[in-house]
A and B are shown apart, each in its own frame.
Chain A
């Protein structure tokens, strides 16, 4: 590990720290946003943090392999599918309830 750090200035730890910061920002958005579209954007940020970690581990730990990058492609594909279905649901909810605030979507509340 010591010689990899000296030959390559940016190490795995840098990318892992950046990924954790990005993930925490995404969690903050999910917890504090009132608008459901904003929550979906924050979820996209969290997907990207996970992808950074996958690709960084692939580059620095499993160098001869590409499974991390292949897995990241699946994550991107599922994130796109989630965005499409989620935003279609948001628009359907907006048509019936005339709001995009999550605290006003209380149709099932007793």
Chain B
């Protein structure tokens, strides 16, 4: 049962990801990216990470996809559908990616991972305690990074004064 759901989600995820990188129209590629990110959220839910599932839907599907859709609509990307959207290096790129997957799979299959299996429980409270306890330094540093990216986005998207 669980294996069947996993294979279904994996097939949909791989299919929509392939559409993201090969589709000519960038807006439909963005919609396929939304589907792929939602399916990654489903995988998080299957792994017992309920808080990350919510974060994935809220931040990626609700935030990043909207920004990408705005960027597609504010540039001329959608009018360029008739031109080929990939360069001529797809054969070496495909060989590189296939060899990478092959190497990783051989390595993963040869290695046996021993460890403690987590029991499924709500994680939101524990993650809050972890973020304000053990991970307090990266938490504060990330707030600085977010401030810098806010200022940078305003600076870059401002109209130049002539």
Q: Would you call B97 and A81 a contact (CB within 8 A)?
A: no
The residues in B between 135 and 162 inclusive whose CB is less than 8 angstroms from any CB of A are 135, 138, 142, 145-146, 149-150, 152-153, 156-157
Give chain B's interface secondary structure class. Answer: helix
- Could you tell me the distance between the alpha carbons of A4 and B119 in the complex, rounded to whole angstroms? 12
| Additional pairs, 14, CB under 8 Å, beyond known A35-B80, A87-B68, A88-B152 | A22-B14, A25-B18, A27-B96, A40-B68, A45-B20, A45-B36, A51-B52, A52-B40, A58-B49, A58-B118, A66-B127, A84-B150, A92-B157, A94-B75
Residues in B lying within 8 Å of A, measured CB to CB: 1-3, 6, 10, 13-14, 17-18, 20-21, 26, 29-30, 33, 36-37, 40, 43-44, 46-49, 51-52, 55-56, 59-60, 63-64, 67-68, 70-72, 74-77, 80, 84-87, 89-90, 93-94, 96-98, 100-101, 104-105, 108-109, 112-119, 123, 126-127, 130-131, 134-135, 138, 142, 145-146, 149-150, 152-153, 156-157
